[in-house]
């Protein structure tokens, strides 16, 4: 991202994450999101639950291996929607969290908030701005 776009309020950004990891972030369980690229963005961003269900069973197995016992059923997870927000407090190359994967960048996450209702949206894998129409819908549905 260019420095001009990084000056915008971070609450306008989203990061798309596959389920069940998006759920784990918003539940306050997963405190690091790993990416192959770093970010300078700090502050609150939205979490988008990806539409693709590929790897869902493997993700559930991974969560169980990491000690997560109470998981939602697939039909109770949102896909292809903004489901909440979280604060990015740092971006690191190494961290002691069980969620950190070596070889990339770890976005350190805190203060997850679940939306009252998911808001459907098409998304990209990179961090992007939330379209203004979707922001308005999030605000109207989640007041």
How do residues 36-52 score in pLDDT, each as one tens digit?
999 999 999 999 999 99
Residue 40: predicted pLDDT: 93
The answer on pLDDT for 1 being more than 70 is: no
What pLDDT is recorded for position 143? 63
State the Cα–Cα distance between residues 78 and 44, nearest whole angstrom. Answer: 20
- Among residues 3, 41, 35, the alpha carbon closest in space to that of 21 is found at 35
DSSP structural state of residue 11: G
How far, CA to CA in Å, does 20 sit from each of 16, 41, 51, 125? 12, 24, 11, 16
- Can you give the pLDDT at residue 42? 93
Asked whether the predicted pLDDT for residue 99 surpasses 50, the reply is yes
In the numeric block, the tokens 């690229």 are attached to 37
pTM: 0.88
């Amino acid at each position: 991202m260019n420095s001009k776009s990084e000056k915008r309020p971070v609450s306008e950004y989203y990061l798309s994450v596959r389920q069940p990891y998006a759920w784990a972030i918003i539940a306050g369980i997963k405190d690091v999101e790993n990416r192959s690229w770093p970010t300078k963005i700090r502050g609150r961003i939205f979490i988008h639950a990806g539409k693709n269900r590929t790897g869902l069973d493997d993700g559930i197995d991974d969560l169980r291996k990491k000690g997560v016992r109470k998981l939602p059923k697939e039909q109770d997870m949102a896909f292809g929607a903004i489901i909440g927000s979280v604060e990015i407090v740092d971006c690191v190359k190494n961290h002691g969290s069980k969620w950190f994967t070596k070889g990339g960048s770890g976005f350190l996450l805190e203060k997850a908030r679940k939306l009252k209702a998911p808001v459907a949206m098409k998304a990209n894998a990179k961090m992007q701005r939330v379209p203004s129409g979707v922001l308005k819908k999030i605000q109207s549905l989640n007041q």
